Amino acid sequence: MNTTRCDRTPAWRALQTLFDTAGRAFDVREAFAADPKRFGAFSQSAPHIFADLSKNLIDEATQTLLLDLAQQSGLQSHREAMFAGEKINNTEHRAVMHWLLRNPPLALMNKGREDIQNVANELTEVHATLDAMLAYAEVVRADAAITDVVNIGIGGSDLGPQMAVLALDEYVTPGKRFHFVSNVDGHELAAVLKKVKVESTLFLIASKTFTTIETMTNAHSAKAWFDAKGGTNVARHFAALTTNVAAANAFGISTTFGFWDWVGGRYSVWSAIGLPLAMAIGAQGFREFLAGAHDMDEHFRTAPLAQNLPVRLGLLDVWYRNFHKFTSRSVAPYHCALKRYPAYLQQLEMESNGKQVDAHGEALPYGTSPVIWGEPGTNGQHAYFQMLHQGTDVVPVEFVAVKKAKHSLPGHHTLLLANVLAQAQALMLGKADAGGHKNFPGNRPSSFLLLDELSPTTLGALIALQEHRVFVSGSLWGINSFDQWGVELGKVLAKEVQARLGSGDATGLDGSTAGLLAKLRT
Ligand code: F6P
Protein backbone atom coordinates (compact mmCIF):
# COMPACT_ATOMS: atom_id res chain seq x y z
CA MET A 1 0.00 0.00 0.00
CA ASN A 2 1.41 3.33 -1.07
CA THR A 3 -0.27 6.27 0.66
CA THR A 4 0.69 9.84 1.51
CA ARG A 5 -1.11 12.04 4.02
CA CYS A 6 -3.24 14.62 2.20
CA ASP A 7 -1.38 17.64 3.62
CA ARG A 8 1.92 16.34 2.24
CA THR A 9 0.83 16.41 -1.39
CA PRO A 10 1.26 19.19 -3.99
CA ALA A 11 -2.51 19.07 -4.62
CA TRP A 12 -3.19 20.10 -1.01
CA ARG A 13 -1.10 23.25 -1.43
CA ALA A 14 -2.73 23.97 -4.79
CA LEU A 15 -6.16 23.60 -3.20
CA GLN A 16 -5.21 26.06 -0.46
CA THR A 17 -4.16 28.60 -3.08
CA LEU A 18 -7.34 28.01 -5.04
CA PHE A 19 -9.44 28.38 -1.91
CA ASP A 20 -7.71 31.64 -0.96
CA THR A 21 -8.07 33.13 -4.41
CA ALA A 22 -11.48 31.90 -5.56
CA GLY A 23 -12.90 29.13 -3.37
CA ARG A 24 -13.80 31.20 -0.32
CA ALA A 25 -15.85 33.65 -2.40
CA PHE A 26 -17.39 31.03 -4.68
CA ASP A 27 -21.07 31.65 -5.34
CA VAL A 28 -23.05 28.68 -6.58
CA ARG A 29 -25.79 30.93 -8.01
CA GLU A 30 -23.24 32.63 -10.25
CA ALA A 31 -21.84 29.23 -11.21
CA PHE A 32 -25.30 28.11 -12.38
CA ALA A 33 -25.77 31.35 -14.31
CA ALA A 34 -22.43 30.85 -16.05
CA ASP A 35 -22.84 27.18 -16.84
CA PRO A 36 -26.17 25.78 -18.02
CA LYS A 37 -24.66 22.28 -17.94
CA ARG A 38 -23.73 22.44 -14.26
CA PHE A 39 -26.42 20.02 -13.14
CA GLY A 40 -25.11 17.34 -15.51
CA ALA A 41 -21.47 17.95 -14.67
CA PHE A 42 -22.06 17.80 -10.94
CA SER A 43 -24.47 14.92 -10.72
CA GLN A 44 -23.54 11.28 -10.52
CA SER A 45 -25.45 8.07 -11.08
CA ALA A 46 -24.40 5.13 -8.97
CA PRO A 47 -26.13 1.79 -8.43
CA HIS A 48 -29.66 2.44 -7.10
CA ILE A 49 -28.86 6.09 -6.29
CA PHE A 50 -28.77 9.31 -8.24
CA ALA A 51 -26.84 12.15 -6.63
CA ASP A 52 -27.16 15.83 -7.45
CA LEU A 53 -24.01 17.52 -6.17
CA SER A 54 -24.47 20.69 -8.21
CA LYS A 55 -25.59 22.86 -5.29
CA ASN A 56 -22.20 22.44 -3.64
CA LEU A 57 -19.49 25.10 -3.43
CA ILE A 58 -17.36 23.50 -6.07
CA ASP A 59 -16.36 24.07 -9.68
CA GLU A 60 -14.41 22.10 -12.29
CA ALA A 61 -11.04 23.47 -11.13
CA THR A 62 -11.72 22.49 -7.52
CA GLN A 63 -12.98 19.09 -8.51
CA THR A 64 -9.91 18.44 -10.64
CA LEU A 65 -7.59 19.37 -7.78
CA LEU A 66 -9.56 17.25 -5.33
CA LEU A 67 -9.23 14.29 -7.69
CA ASP A 68 -5.48 15.02 -7.87
CA LEU A 69 -5.46 15.01 -4.08
CA ALA A 70 -7.06 11.57 -4.07
CA GLN A 71 -4.50 10.28 -6.60
CA GLN A 72 -1.54 11.78 -4.80
CA SER A 73 -2.72 10.49 -1.41
CA GLY A 74 -2.85 6.95 -2.78
CA LEU A 75 -6.59 6.48 -2.35
CA GLN A 76 -6.68 3.79 -5.04
CA SER A 77 -3.87 1.84 -3.43
CA HIS A 78 -5.59 2.04 -0.03
CA ARG A 79 -8.90 0.95 -1.57
CA GLU A 80 -7.19 -1.99 -3.28
CA ALA A 81 -5.57 -2.98 0.00
CA MET A 82 -8.99 -3.10 1.67
CA PHE A 83 -10.47 -5.18 -1.14
CA ALA A 84 -7.45 -7.51 -1.06
CA GLY A 85 -7.97 -8.26 2.64
CA GLU A 86 -4.77 -6.53 3.82
CA LYS A 87 -4.61 -5.60 7.50
CA ILE A 88 -5.33 -1.92 7.02
CA ASN A 89 -6.69 -1.60 10.58
CA ASN A 90 -3.10 -1.28 11.77
CA THR A 91 -3.68 -0.57 15.46
CA GLU A 92 -5.69 -3.76 15.88
CA HIS A 93 -3.79 -5.73 13.18
CA ARG A 94 -7.00 -6.64 11.40
CA ALA A 95 -8.26 -6.76 7.86
CA VAL A 96 -11.34 -4.67 7.01
CA MET A 97 -13.71 -6.86 5.06
CA HIS A 98 -17.33 -5.92 5.76
CA TRP A 99 -17.63 -5.77 1.94
CA LEU A 100 -16.93 -9.53 1.81
CA LEU A 101 -20.16 -10.15 3.73
CA ARG A 102 -22.12 -9.00 0.68
CA ASN A 103 -19.89 -10.62 -1.92
CA PRO A 104 -21.54 -13.40 -3.95
CA PRO A 105 -20.05 -16.87 -3.46
CA LEU A 106 -16.92 -17.61 -5.51
CA ALA A 107 -18.78 -19.91 -7.90
CA LEU A 108 -21.15 -17.08 -8.88
CA MET A 109 -18.50 -14.43 -9.34
CA ASN A 110 -17.39 -12.96 -12.62
CA LYS A 111 -13.77 -13.50 -13.55
CA GLY A 112 -11.31 -10.67 -13.02
CA ARG A 113 -11.11 -10.59 -9.21
CA GLU A 114 -7.82 -12.36 -8.64
CA ASP A 115 -7.48 -10.63 -5.26
CA ILE A 116 -10.57 -12.44 -3.99
CA GLN A 117 -8.52 -15.64 -3.97
CA ASN A 118 -6.63 -14.20 -0.95
CA VAL A 119 -9.84 -14.41 1.04
CA ALA A 120 -11.50 -17.42 -0.57
CA ASN A 121 -11.67 -19.33 2.72
CA GLU A 122 -13.26 -16.40 4.51
CA LEU A 123 -15.80 -16.06 1.71
CA THR A 124 -16.73 -19.73 2.04
CA GLU A 125 -17.26 -19.25 5.79
CA VAL A 126 -19.31 -16.11 5.14
CA HIS A 127 -21.75 -18.00 2.96
CA ALA A 128 -21.97 -21.01 5.27
CA THR A 129 -22.87 -18.68 8.16
CA LEU A 130 -25.22 -16.58 6.04
CA ASP A 131 -27.10 -19.69 4.87
CA ALA A 132 -27.41 -20.97 8.44
CA MET A 133 -28.54 -17.63 9.78
CA LEU A 134 -31.11 -17.12 7.04
CA ALA A 135 -32.45 -20.66 7.49
CA TYR A 136 -32.89 -19.91 11.20
CA ALA A 137 -34.56 -16.58 10.38
CA GLU A 138 -37.07 -18.42 8.19
CA VAL A 139 -37.79 -20.97 10.93
CA VAL A 140 -38.53 -18.18 13.39
CA ARG A 141 -40.64 -16.32 10.82
CA ALA A 142 -42.73 -19.43 10.30
CA ASP A 143 -43.11 -20.01 14.03
CA ALA A 144 -46.37 -18.26 14.92
CA ALA A 145 -45.75 -18.94 18.61
CA ILE A 146 -42.86 -16.42 18.61
CA THR A 147 -44.49 -13.00 18.40
CA ASP A 148 -41.73 -10.78 19.85
CA VAL A 149 -38.05 -10.56 18.99
CA VAL A 150 -35.97 -8.54 21.44
CA ASN A 151 -32.52 -7.50 20.20
CA ILE A 152 -30.16 -6.69 23.07
CA GLY A 153 -27.05 -4.90 21.81
CA ILE A 154 -25.50 -1.42 21.62
CA GLY A 155 -23.55 0.69 19.12
CA GLY A 156 -23.08 -1.27 15.91
CA SER A 157 -24.93 -4.21 17.47
CA ASP A 158 -28.04 -2.05 17.73
CA LEU A 159 -27.97 0.93 15.36
CA GLY A 160 -27.64 -1.02 12.08
CA PRO A 161 -30.40 -3.58 12.60
CA GLN A 162 -32.65 -1.06 14.33
CA MET A 163 -32.23 1.55 11.59
CA ALA A 164 -32.82 -1.04 8.86
CA VAL A 165 -35.83 -2.75 10.47
CA LEU A 166 -37.50 0.65 10.87
CA ALA A 167 -36.53 1.76 7.37
CA LEU A 168 -37.97 -1.39 5.80
CA ASP A 169 -41.12 -1.43 7.87
CA GLU A 170 -43.20 -1.86 4.71
CA TYR A 171 -41.45 -5.19 4.11
CA VAL A 172 -41.79 -6.54 7.65
CA THR A 173 -43.90 -9.66 8.03
CA PRO A 174 -47.06 -8.95 10.00
CA GLY A 175 -47.40 -10.88 13.24
CA LYS A 176 -43.99 -10.20 14.68
CA ARG A 177 -42.90 -7.27 16.77
CA PHE A 178 -39.26 -6.17 16.97
CA HIS A 179 -37.83 -4.45 20.04
CA PHE A 180 -34.36 -2.99 20.46
CA VAL A 181 -32.82 -2.63 23.90
CA SER A 182 -29.45 -0.92 23.97
CA ASN A 183 -29.25 1.38 26.99
CA VAL A 184 -27.99 0.15 30.34
CA ASP A 185 -30.72 2.38 31.77
CA GLY A 186 -33.09 -0.29 33.10
CA HIS A 187 -36.13 1.77 32.07
CA GLU A 188 -35.58 0.60 28.51
CA LEU A 189 -35.50 -3.14 29.18
CA ALA A 190 -38.20 -2.90 31.86
CA ALA A 191 -40.57 -1.21 29.39
CA VAL A 192 -40.06 -4.02 26.86
CA LEU A 193 -40.41 -6.77 29.46
CA LYS A 194 -43.78 -5.31 30.46
CA LYS A 195 -45.03 -5.91 26.92
CA VAL A 196 -43.77 -9.43 26.20
CA LYS A 197 -44.41 -12.97 27.44
CA VAL A 198 -41.81 -15.65 28.13
CA GLU A 199 -43.39 -18.28 25.86
CA SER A 200 -43.63 -16.00 22.81
CA THR A 201 -40.34 -14.06 23.03
CA LEU A 202 -36.99 -14.63 21.40
CA PHE A 203 -34.04 -12.70 22.83
CA LEU A 204 -31.13 -12.03 20.49
CA ILE A 205 -27.99 -11.11 22.41
CA ALA A 206 -25.97 -9.12 19.87
CA SER A 207 -22.39 -8.28 20.79
CA LYS A 208 -19.28 -8.61 18.70
CA THR A 209 -17.12 -9.03 21.79
CA PHE A 210 -19.76 -10.43 24.17
CA THR A 211 -18.14 -8.31 26.89
CA THR A 212 -19.83 -4.91 26.47
CA ILE A 213 -21.10 -4.01 29.94
CA GLU A 214 -24.45 -2.54 28.83
CA THR A 215 -25.31 -5.58 26.72
CA MET A 216 -24.15 -8.09 29.31
CA THR A 217 -26.12 -6.32 32.05
CA ASN A 218 -29.28 -6.31 29.92
CA ALA A 219 -28.71 -9.93 28.83
CA HIS A 220 -28.34 -11.10 32.44
CA SER A 221 -31.47 -9.19 33.47
CA ALA A 222 -33.45 -10.63 30.55
CA LYS A 223 -32.30 -14.13 31.48
CA ALA A 224 -33.18 -13.55 35.15
CA TRP A 225 -36.67 -12.34 34.08
CA PHE A 226 -37.03 -15.41 31.84
CA ASP A 227 -36.08 -17.75 34.72
CA ALA A 228 -38.30 -15.94 37.22
CA LYS A 229 -41.28 -16.23 34.88
CA GLY A 230 -40.76 -20.00 34.65
CA GLY A 231 -38.96 -20.06 31.30
CA THR A 232 -36.93 -23.22 30.76
CA ASN A 233 -36.12 -23.67 27.08
CA VAL A 234 -33.15 -21.32 26.73
CA ALA A 235 -32.14 -22.83 23.37
CA ARG A 236 -35.49 -21.80 21.91
CA HIS A 237 -35.73 -18.35 23.50
CA PHE A 238 -32.15 -17.05 23.39
CA ALA A 239 -29.68 -16.78 20.53
CA ALA A 240 -26.33 -15.00 20.42
CA LEU A 241 -24.80 -13.04 17.53
CA THR A 242 -21.11 -12.67 18.24
CA THR A 243 -17.49 -13.30 17.29
CA ASN A 244 -17.01 -14.68 20.81
CA VAL A 245 -19.03 -17.88 20.61
CA ALA A 246 -17.18 -19.33 23.63
CA ALA A 247 -18.42 -16.48 25.86
CA ALA A 248 -21.98 -16.93 24.58
CA ASN A 249 -21.80 -20.63 25.38
CA ALA A 250 -20.45 -19.83 28.84
CA PHE A 251 -23.44 -17.51 29.32
CA GLY A 252 -25.65 -20.53 28.63
CA ILE A 253 -26.67 -19.81 25.05
CA SER A 254 -26.25 -22.69 22.62
CA THR A 255 -27.89 -21.13 19.53
CA THR A 256 -25.14 -18.91 18.14
CA PHE A 257 -24.29 -17.21 14.85
CA GLY A 258 -20.73 -16.04 14.49
CA PHE A 259 -18.79 -13.45 12.57
CA TRP A 260 -15.17 -12.39 12.42
CA ASP A 261 -12.76 -9.83 13.85
CA TRP A 262 -12.39 -8.29 10.37
CA VAL A 263 -15.95 -6.91 10.65
CA GLY A 264 -16.01 -3.65 12.63
CA GLY A 265 -18.99 -3.20 14.97
CA ARG A 266 -20.32 -0.21 13.01
CA TYR A 267 -19.93 -2.18 9.76
CA SER A 268 -21.64 -5.32 11.04
CA VAL A 269 -25.28 -5.04 9.95
CA TRP A 270 -24.38 -7.31 7.01
CA SER A 271 -23.24 -10.10 9.33
CA ALA A 272 -25.09 -12.19 11.93
CA ILE A 273 -25.80 -8.83 13.63
CA GLY A 274 -28.34 -8.34 10.83
CA LEU A 275 -30.41 -11.31 12.06
CA PRO A 276 -33.32 -9.17 13.34
CA LEU A 277 -33.53 -7.61 9.89
CA ALA A 278 -33.48 -11.04 8.23
CA MET A 279 -36.27 -12.14 10.55
CA ALA A 280 -38.22 -9.00 9.76
CA ILE A 281 -37.94 -8.96 5.96
CA GLY A 282 -37.09 -12.60 5.24
CA ALA A 283 -34.11 -14.37 3.71
CA GLN A 284 -34.86 -13.11 0.21
CA GLY A 285 -35.17 -9.51 1.42
CA PHE A 286 -31.89 -9.79 3.34
CA ARG A 287 -30.14 -11.16 0.25
CA GLU A 288 -31.45 -8.17 -1.72
CA PHE A 289 -30.10 -5.84 1.00
CA LEU A 290 -26.66 -7.48 0.58
CA ALA A 291 -26.92 -7.37 -3.21
CA GLY A 292 -27.67 -3.62 -3.22
CA ALA A 293 -24.60 -3.04 -1.06
CA HIS A 294 -22.48 -5.27 -3.28
CA ASP A 295 -23.50 -3.24 -6.33
CA MET A 296 -22.21 -0.15 -4.53
CA ASP A 297 -19.00 -2.01 -3.55
CA GLU A 298 -18.36 -2.78 -7.20
CA HIS A 299 -19.04 0.82 -8.17
CA PHE A 300 -16.60 2.07 -5.52
CA ARG A 301 -14.00 -0.56 -6.43
CA THR A 302 -14.06 -0.08 -10.20
CA ALA A 303 -15.51 3.29 -11.30
CA PRO A 304 -12.93 5.94 -12.26
CA LEU A 305 -12.42 8.40 -9.41
CA ALA A 306 -14.13 11.21 -11.34
CA GLN A 307 -17.32 9.16 -11.73
CA ASN A 308 -17.23 7.42 -8.40
CA LEU A 309 -19.96 8.59 -6.04
CA PRO A 310 -18.36 7.62 -2.71
CA VAL A 311 -15.15 9.29 -3.92
CA ARG A 312 -16.93 12.47 -4.99
CA LEU A 313 -18.78 12.70 -1.66
CA GLY A 314 -15.66 11.96 0.39
CA LEU A 315 -13.69 14.64 -1.51
CA LEU A 316 -16.42 17.19 -0.86
CA ASP A 317 -16.23 16.27 2.82
CA VAL A 318 -12.50 17.06 2.82
CA TRP A 319 -13.03 20.31 0.88
CA TYR A 320 -15.63 21.49 3.39
CA ARG A 321 -13.86 20.34 6.54
CA ASN A 322 -10.31 21.40 5.75
CA PHE A 323 -10.65 24.42 3.47
CA HIS A 324 -14.05 25.97 4.24
CA LYS A 325 -13.57 24.73 7.86
CA PHE A 326 -17.22 23.69 8.22
CA THR A 327 -17.50 21.62 11.37
CA SER A 328 -20.71 19.71 10.84
CA ARG A 329 -22.97 18.13 8.26
CA SER A 330 -26.70 17.81 8.66
CA VAL A 331 -28.44 14.77 7.20
CA ALA A 332 -32.05 15.21 6.19
CA PRO A 333 -33.80 12.03 5.06
CA TYR A 334 -37.22 12.91 3.64
CA HIS A 335 -38.77 9.60 4.59
CA CYS A 336 -40.10 9.06 8.08
CA ALA A 337 -38.97 5.42 8.11
CA LEU A 338 -35.37 6.68 7.99
CA LYS A 339 -35.71 8.09 11.51
CA ARG A 340 -32.64 6.24 12.85
CA TYR A 341 -30.55 6.93 9.75
CA PRO A 342 -28.91 10.04 11.25
CA ALA A 343 -28.02 8.14 14.45
CA TYR A 344 -26.63 5.29 12.38
CA LEU A 345 -24.46 7.71 10.39
CA GLN A 346 -23.26 9.37 13.59
CA GLN A 347 -21.59 6.16 14.69
CA LEU A 348 -20.42 5.28 11.20
CA GLU A 349 -18.65 8.57 10.55
CA MET A 350 -17.80 9.95 13.98
CA GLU A 351 -16.52 6.69 15.48
CA SER A 352 -14.57 5.98 12.28
CA ASN A 353 -13.07 9.39 11.57
CA GLY A 354 -13.20 11.21 14.92
CA LYS A 355 -9.43 10.93 15.31
CA GLN A 356 -6.68 13.41 16.19
CA VAL A 357 -3.66 11.37 15.12
CA ASP A 358 -2.81 9.68 11.84
CA ALA A 359 -2.43 5.93 11.42
CA HIS A 360 1.18 6.22 12.64
CA GLY A 361 0.15 8.09 15.79
CA GLU A 362 1.35 11.51 14.61
CA ALA A 363 -0.78 14.50 15.62
CA LEU A 364 -2.87 15.89 12.77
CA PRO A 365 -2.67 19.58 11.87
CA TYR A 366 -6.20 19.64 10.36
CA GLY A 367 -9.77 18.78 11.28
CA THR A 368 -11.22 15.31 10.78
CA SER A 369 -14.77 14.00 11.32
CA PRO A 370 -17.47 16.64 11.18
CA VAL A 371 -20.38 16.44 13.61
CA ILE A 372 -23.15 14.47 11.90
CA TRP A 373 -26.68 15.27 12.97
CA GLY A 374 -30.21 15.51 11.69
CA GLU A 375 -33.83 14.40 11.75
CA PRO A 376 -36.23 13.30 9.07
CA GLY A 377 -37.84 16.02 7.00
CA THR A 378 -40.19 17.72 7.14
CA ASN A 379 -39.87 17.68 10.97
CA GLY A 380 -36.42 19.25 10.98
CA GLN A 381 -37.79 22.22 9.04
CA HIS A 382 -39.89 23.18 12.05
CA ALA A 383 -37.05 22.81 14.50
CA TYR A 384 -33.52 23.72 13.42
CA PHE A 385 -33.75 24.67 9.74
CA GLN A 386 -33.99 28.27 10.96
CA MET A 387 -30.32 28.00 11.87
CA LEU A 388 -29.43 26.30 8.59
CA HIS A 389 -30.97 29.17 6.62
CA GLN A 390 -30.07 32.18 8.74
CA GLY A 391 -27.57 31.11 11.39
CA THR A 392 -24.00 32.39 11.48
CA ASP A 393 -22.48 29.00 10.62
CA VAL A 394 -22.67 27.32 7.26
CA VAL A 395 -23.73 23.67 7.59
CA PRO A 396 -23.73 21.54 4.44
CA VAL A 397 -26.91 19.49 4.25
CA GLU A 398 -27.29 16.06 2.69
CA PHE A 399 -30.86 15.40 1.63
CA VAL A 400 -32.24 11.95 0.87
CA ALA A 401 -35.45 11.76 -1.13
CA VAL A 402 -37.43 8.76 -2.33
CA LYS A 403 -39.33 9.03 -5.58
CA LYS A 404 -42.10 6.47 -4.99
CA ALA A 405 -44.14 6.19 -1.83
CA LYS A 406 -45.49 2.92 -0.47
CA HIS A 407 -48.78 4.42 0.71
CA SER A 408 -51.69 5.68 -1.34
CA LEU A 409 -52.76 8.70 0.74
CA PRO A 410 -53.43 11.42 -1.82
CA GLY A 411 -51.26 14.51 -1.88
CA HIS A 412 -48.80 13.61 0.86
CA HIS A 413 -45.89 12.44 -1.23
CA THR A 414 -46.01 15.34 -3.67
CA LEU A 415 -46.02 17.71 -0.72
CA LEU A 416 -43.07 15.88 0.86
CA LEU A 417 -41.07 16.02 -2.38
CA ALA A 418 -41.98 19.67 -2.87
CA ASN A 419 -40.59 20.39 0.58
CA VAL A 420 -37.28 18.66 0.07
CA LEU A 421 -36.77 20.41 -3.26
CA ALA A 422 -37.80 23.76 -1.79
CA GLN A 423 -35.45 23.48 1.18
CA ALA A 424 -32.47 22.72 -1.05
CA GLN A 425 -33.52 25.57 -3.32
CA ALA A 426 -33.97 28.04 -0.44
CA LEU A 427 -30.58 27.19 1.04
CA MET A 428 -28.92 27.87 -2.28
CA LEU A 429 -30.90 30.82 -3.61
CA GLY A 430 -31.56 32.75 -0.43
CA LYS A 431 -33.62 35.97 -0.54
CA ALA A 432 -32.54 39.56 -0.11
CA ASP A 433 -34.28 41.79 2.43
CA ALA A 434 -33.17 45.26 3.33
CA GLY A 435 -34.50 44.99 6.89
CA GLY A 436 -32.17 42.11 7.74
CA HIS A 437 -34.56 39.86 9.68
CA LYS A 438 -36.03 38.36 6.55
CA ASN A 439 -32.73 38.16 4.72
CA PHE A 440 -31.65 34.69 3.59
CA PRO A 441 -27.98 34.80 2.59
CA GLY A 442 -28.24 31.73 0.35
CA ASN A 443 -25.17 30.07 -1.18
CA ARG A 444 -25.57 27.37 1.48
CA PRO A 445 -24.44 24.04 0.08
CA SER A 446 -26.37 20.81 -0.12
CA SER A 447 -26.21 17.42 -1.78
CA PHE A 448 -29.28 15.51 -2.86
CA LEU A 449 -29.42 11.71 -2.91
CA LEU A 450 -32.38 10.31 -4.79
CA LEU A 451 -33.67 6.74 -4.50
CA ASP A 452 -36.37 5.36 -6.71
CA GLU A 453 -37.99 3.63 -3.74
CA LEU A 454 -36.97 2.65 -0.24
CA SER A 455 -36.39 -1.10 -0.56
CA PRO A 456 -33.89 -3.65 0.79
CA THR A 457 -31.77 -3.17 -2.34
CA THR A 458 -31.69 0.63 -2.29
CA LEU A 459 -31.13 0.78 1.47
CA GLY A 460 -28.20 -1.63 1.10
CA ALA A 461 -26.71 0.60 -1.59
CA LEU A 462 -27.26 3.76 0.47
CA ILE A 463 -25.54 2.37 3.54
CA ALA A 464 -22.61 0.96 1.55
CA LEU A 465 -22.28 4.37 -0.14
CA GLN A 466 -21.96 6.00 3.28
CA GLU A 467 -19.40 3.43 4.44
CA HIS A 468 -17.22 4.07 1.42
CA ARG A 469 -17.42 7.87 1.56
CA VAL A 470 -16.20 7.64 5.17
CA PHE A 471 -13.36 5.43 3.90
CA VAL A 472 -12.44 8.09 1.33
CA SER A 473 -12.18 11.02 3.74
CA GLY A 474 -10.47 8.84 6.37
CA SER A 475 -7.99 7.62 3.78
CA LEU A 476 -7.05 11.13 2.66
CA TRP A 477 -6.71 12.23 6.26
CA GLY A 478 -4.31 9.33 6.76
CA ILE A 479 -6.18 8.00 9.78
CA ASN A 480 -7.18 4.50 10.78
CA SER A 481 -10.96 4.66 10.30
CA PHE A 482 -11.44 1.19 11.76
CA ASP A 483 -10.43 1.44 15.40
CA GLN A 484 -12.17 3.32 18.23
CA TRP A 485 -9.77 3.80 21.12
CA GLY A 486 -11.64 6.93 22.14
CA VAL A 487 -14.42 4.90 23.74
CA GLU A 488 -12.12 3.07 26.15
CA LEU A 489 -11.28 5.63 28.85
CA GLY A 490 -14.91 6.23 29.80
CA LYS A 491 -15.48 2.47 30.08
CA VAL A 492 -12.56 2.07 32.51
CA LEU A 493 -13.59 5.07 34.60
CA ALA A 494 -17.22 3.89 34.78
CA LYS A 495 -16.08 0.66 36.45
CA GLU A 496 -14.09 2.59 39.00
CA VAL A 497 -16.90 5.07 39.69
CA GLN A 498 -19.40 2.22 39.99
CA ALA A 499 -17.38 0.87 42.93
CA ARG A 500 -17.18 4.33 44.49
CA LEU A 501 -20.96 4.81 44.19
CA GLY A 502 -21.25 1.74 46.38
CA SER A 503 -18.56 2.58 48.90
CA GLY A 504 -18.70 6.36 48.89
CA ASP A 505 -14.92 6.47 48.75
CA ALA A 506 -13.92 9.75 47.09
CA THR A 507 -10.20 9.50 47.80
CA GLY A 508 -8.13 11.01 45.00
CA LEU A 509 -11.17 12.03 42.94
CA ASP A 510 -11.37 15.39 41.18
CA GLY A 511 -13.53 17.94 43.00
CA SER A 512 -16.45 17.86 40.60
CA THR A 513 -16.83 14.08 40.48
CA ALA A 514 -16.42 13.90 44.27
CA GLY A 515 -19.14 16.55 44.74
CA LEU A 516 -21.57 14.79 42.42
CA LEU A 517 -20.81 11.43 44.00
CA ALA A 518 -21.74 12.83 47.42
CA LYS A 519 -24.97 14.35 46.02
CA LEU A 520 -25.95 11.03 44.44
CA ARG A 521 -25.36 9.12 47.67
CA THR A 522 -27.49 11.31 49.90
O1 F6P B 1 -17.79 1.10 22.66
C2 F6P B 1 -17.87 1.21 21.28
C3 F6P B 1 -18.15 -0.11 20.65
O4 F6P B 1 -17.03 -0.92 20.72
C5 F6P B 1 -18.63 0.03 19.21
O6 F6P B 1 -17.59 0.16 18.32
C7 F6P B 1 -19.43 -1.20 19.06
O8 F6P B 1 -20.28 -1.14 17.94
C9 F6P B 1 -20.17 -1.22 20.37
O10 F6P B 1 -19.22 -0.78 21.31
C11 F6P B 1 -20.72 -2.56 20.78
O12 F6P B 1 -19.72 -3.53 20.88
P13 F6P B 1 -20.08 -5.05 20.95
O14 F6P B 1 -20.81 -5.42 19.71
O15 F6P B 1 -18.78 -5.77 21.10
O16 F6P B 1 -20.97 -5.27 22.15
Return the residue whose CA atom lies nearest to atom 6 of ligand 1.
265
CA 157 – ligand 1 centroid, Å: 7
CA 46 – ligand 1 centroid, Å: 31
**pLDDT value at 290 more than 80:** yes
**pLDDT value at 7 more than 70:** yes
Query: Which numbered atom of ligand 1 lies nearest the CA of 159?
Result: 8
Note the pLDDT of residue 118.
Answer: 86
Cβ atoms of 337 and 167 closer than 8 Å:
yes
Q: What is the mean pLDDT of residues 133-160?
A: 98
Note the pLDDT of residue 311.
Answer: 98
**pLDDT value at 107 more than 80:** no
Note the pLDDT of residue 173.
Answer: 85
Which residue from 484, 491, 493, 495 has its CB within 8 A of the most atoms of ligand 1, so it is best to mutate? 484
DSSP assignments along 366-414, one per residue: S--PPEEE---TTGGGGTTHHHHHHSSS---EEEEEESS-SS--TTHHH
Tell me the pLDDT band of 106, cut-offs 50, 70 and 90. confident
Instruction: For residue range 188-213, list pLDDT tens digits in order.
Output: 999 999 999 999 999 999 999 999 99
Tell me the pLDDT band of 114, cut-offs 50, 70 and 90. confident
Q: What is the mean pLDDT of residues 404-417?
A: 97
Calpha distance 340→182 (Å, rounded): 14
Tell me the pLDDT band of 110, cut-offs 50, 70 and 90. low
Which residues have any ligand 1 atom within 6 Å of their CB?
154-157, 207-209, 212, 215, 265-266, 351, 484, 487
Note the pLDDT of residue 16.
Answer: 98
DSSP assignments along 124-164, one per residue: HHHHHHHHHHHHHHHHHHH-TT--EEEEE--GGGTHHHHHH
Note the pLDDT of residue 337.
Answer: 98
CA 156 – ligand 1 centroid, Å: 6
Tell me the pLDDT band of 457, cut-offs 50, 70 and 90. very high
Per-residue buried b or exposed e for 5-25, using 16+ beta carbons within 10 Å of the residue's own CB: bbbebebbebbeebbeeebee
Tell me the pLDDT band of 385, cut-offs 50, 70 and 90. very high
From 147, 102, 108, select the one nearest 126 (Cα to Cα).
102
Percent of the chain past pLDDT 90, that is, above it, reads 96
Instruction: For residue range 465-475, list pLDDT tens digits in order.
Output: 999 999 999 99
Which of the residue ranges 173-177, 246-250, 386-390, 457-461 would you say has the lowest mean pLDDT? Answer: 173-177
Instruction: For residue range 39-73, list pLDDT tens digits in order.
Output: 999 999 999 999 999 999 999 999 999 999 999 99
* DSSP SS3 for 48: coil
Cβ atoms of 102 and 270 closer than 8 Å:
yes
**pLDDT value at 229 more than 80:** yes
CA 9 – ligand 1 centroid, Å: 35
- Please give the positions annotated as active site: 351, 382, 491
Query: Which numbered atom of ligand 1 lies nearest the CA of 265?
Result: 8
User: Sheet holding 446-451: strands in order across?
Assistant: 43-46, 49-52, 446-451, 397-402, 328-334, 371-373
Q: Which position has the higher pLDDT, 110 or 395?
A: 395
Neighbours of 270 (CB within 10 A): 28
Percent of the chain past pLDDT 70, that is, above it, reads 99
Neighbours of 69 (CB within 10 A): 24
Which residue from 92, 94, 98, 157 has its CB within 8 A of the most atoms of ligand 1, so it is best to mutate? 157
Mean pLDDT of the chain, nearest integer: 97
Which residue from 487, 488, 495 has its CB within 8 A of the most atoms of ligand 1, so it is best to mutate? 487
Instruction: For residue range 339-365, list pLDDT tens digits in order.
Output: 999 999 999 999 999 999 999 999 999
Tell me the pLDDT band of 111, cut-offs 50, 70 and 90. low
